[in-house]
């Protein structure tokens, strides 16, 4: 008679193999859920991988004495006190976005810190609707329970701040379990940054089209006039052609600024490394704008420092920064008659900074405009800007170029007393500075 040799069930195996065997379903389930989140772009792949490593570690570290339902609620109910409950808690806690685990009747089983920050009233054992009084959440939950299929809903909140959230209600059931014994996973995705970017994109397209449409409408109006009533009027033709040329120049400038802005934004994460001396850059800019200064009867004064100011940078982009600032000072601050350019070196907690300030004594800018000046197409006075040939993109370009250089722009103004635009850029350190100094001495 053959003796039947019974192999131990996975639950009774000991050691690492036993732990792996007992944790297999939660591990498979969490891997699937994480994979789903990565596929749905809810969680970056690196976060998901880190979360899964944490889950595996939680599953394998320490003895798993208790066996039982891997989906038993941890914490709230006594069943959750076991190792599988702790594993499930580790799964929930490791998500970088708000996650709440519920019983099918809507009672909270577990939630992570991100969920607590989102809904501070969440409490284990309470109905989730007490903490999340959002009709969309309640309805999505009801439908997910009824259909057994994942549901998605979106809702917005006004208090304490405007935000948009997507909710995913995912029924989770252990293999071969009755539907009513499973749990429900609520995952919340903050859509606010996406919405903001989308709003900015829509505004940007509307503004850019409007800016292009205005000169285009004027051009086609003059073409009609020249083809019709003014066909034989030589004086009108010369005058209209002059206006048409200036409108075409405005369109070209706008397109040029838009392209520069998108090029700089594209490379914003690449920080230029070549040492550039700011002093000759600024002097060249001032020289090139002497004609405009004479036209406006403004004197440009530069306080040249005794030593070079070397910053890691892109010479052409830095030239563009100072061109924009000095040109603005000459255009908008001409009534002050003097534009002063100063250089300084300041110590900051992160190292030494070069500070170049462009100061005019014109009408200045009211305080409420200051924080918005670097937004694309933002102008204090649209008519004045257009009359000066402005596109409303100059300071936006300055900001993005400075971001790329790890620098920043500080704007100060007192109405009636002028404005100061200060560019701050980290100075080259040690060997790079020396190398550039030697290079410039040899030139």
Q: What does the binding site for ligand ADP look like in residue numbers (CB under 6 A)? A: 324, 328-329, 332-333, 360, 362, 365, 373, 379-381, 385, 390-395, 419
* 22 vs 320, beta carbon nearer ligand ADP: 320
- Which pair of tokens denotes residue 332? 């908008």
* 85 vs 392, beta carbon nearer ligand ADP: 392
* 183 vs 419, beta carbon nearer ligand ADP: 419
Q: What share of the chain is helix, strand, coil (3-state, %, to 5)?
A: 50, 20, 30
Cα R_g (the chain), whole angstroms: 33
Smallest distance, ligand ADP to C-beta of residue 204, A? 14
Smallest distance, ligand ADP to C-beta of residue 264, A? 14
* 215 vs 333, beta carbon nearer ligand ADP: 333
* 30 vs 391, beta carbon nearer ligand ADP: 391
For residue 420, CA distances in Å to 319, 355, 362, 385, 424 come to: 18, 12, 10, 18, 13
What is the separation of C-alpha 379 from the centre of its chain, rounded to a whole number of angstroms? 23
How large is the angle between the packed helices 15-22 and 24-39, nearest 10 degrees? 50
Phi then psi dihedrals of residue 56, to 5 deg: -60, -40
Smallest distance, ligand ADP to C-beta of residue 362, A? 5
Smallest distance, ligand ADP to C-beta of residue 385, A? 3
Smallest distance, ligand ADP to C-beta of residue 207, A? 12
Q: Sign of torsion, CA 22 26 30 32?
A: positive
Smallest distance, ligand ADP to C-beta of residue 416, A? 11
Smallest distance, ligand ADP to C-beta of residue 242, A? 22
3-state SS track over 284-346: HHHHHCHHHHHHCCCEEEEECCCCCCEEECCHHHHHHHHHHHHHHHHHHCHHHCEEEEEEEEE
Smallest distance, ligand ADP to C-beta of residue 367, A? 13
Smallest distance, ligand ADP to C-beta of residue 378, A? 6
How large is the angle between the packed helices 315-332 and 278-288, nearest 10 degrees? 40
- Report the alpha-carbon distance of residue 411 to residue 425 in Å, rounded: 15
* 276 vs 329, beta carbon nearer ligand ADP: 329
- Report the alpha-carbon distance of residue 64 to residue 69 in Å, rounded: 13
Residue 75 is given by DSSP the state S
Residue 231 is given by DSSP the state T
- Which pair of tokens denotes residue 93? 């806690």
Residue 270 is given by DSSP the state S
* 183 vs 358, beta carbon nearer ligand ADP: 358
* 192 vs 288, beta carbon nearer ligand ADP: 288
* 130 vs 387, beta carbon nearer ligand ADP: 387
């Amino acid at each position: 008679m053959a003796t039947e040799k019974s192999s131990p069930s996975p639950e009774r195996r000991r050691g690492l193999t036993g732990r792996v065997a007992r944790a297999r379903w939660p591990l498979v389930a969490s891997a699937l859920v994480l994979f789903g989140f990565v596929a749905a772009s809810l969680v970056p792949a690196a976060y998901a991988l880190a979360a899964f490593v944490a889950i595996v570690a939680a599953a394998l570290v320490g003895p798993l004495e208790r066996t039982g339902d891997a989906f038993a609620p941890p914490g709230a109910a006594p069943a959750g006190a076991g190792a599988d409950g702790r594993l499930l808690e580790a799964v929930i806690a490791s998500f970088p976005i708000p996650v709440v685990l519920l019983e099918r009747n809507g009672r909270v089983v577990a939630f992570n810190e991100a969920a607590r920050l989102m809904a501070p009233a969440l409490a284990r054992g309470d109905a989730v609707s007490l903490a999340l009084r959002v009709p969309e959440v309640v309805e999505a939950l009801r439908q997910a329970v009824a259909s057994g299929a994942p549901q998605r809903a979106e809702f917005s909140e006004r208090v304490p701040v405007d935000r948009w959230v997507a909710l995913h209600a995912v029924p989770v059931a252990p293999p071969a379990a009755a539907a009513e014994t499973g749990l429900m996973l609520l995952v919340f995705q903050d859509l606010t940054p996406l919405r903001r970017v989308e709003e900015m994109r829509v505004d940007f397209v509307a503004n850019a089209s409007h800016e292009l449409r205005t000169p285009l409408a004027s051009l086609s109006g003059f073409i009609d006039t020249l083809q019709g009533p003014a066909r034989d009027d030589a004086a009108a033709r010369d005058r209209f052609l002059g206006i048409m040329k200036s409108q075409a120049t405005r369109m070209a400038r706008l397109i040029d600024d838009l392209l520069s802005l998108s090029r700089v934004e594209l490379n914003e994460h690449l920080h230029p490394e070549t040492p550039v001396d700011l002093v000759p850059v600024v002097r060249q800019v001032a020289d090139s704008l002497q004609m405009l200064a004479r036209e406006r009867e403004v004197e440009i004064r530069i306080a040249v420092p005794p030593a070079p100011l070397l910053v890691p940078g892109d010479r052409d982009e830095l030239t563009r920064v100072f061109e924009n600032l000095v040109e603005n000072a000459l255009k908008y601050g001409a009534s002050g008659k003097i534009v002063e350019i100063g250089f300084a070196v300041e110590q900051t907690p992160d190292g030494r900074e070069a500070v170049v300030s462009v100061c005019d004594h014109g009408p200045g800018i009211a305080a409420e405009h200051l924080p918005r000046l670097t937004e694309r197409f933002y102008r204090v006075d649209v008519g004045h800007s257009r009359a000066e040939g402005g596109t409303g993109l100059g300071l936006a370009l300055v900001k993005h170029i400075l971001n790329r250089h790890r620098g920043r722009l500080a704007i100060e103004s007192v109405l009636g007393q002028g404005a100061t635009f200060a560019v701050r850029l980290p100075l080259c350190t040690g060997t790079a500075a020396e190398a550039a100094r030697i290079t410039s001495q040899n030139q």
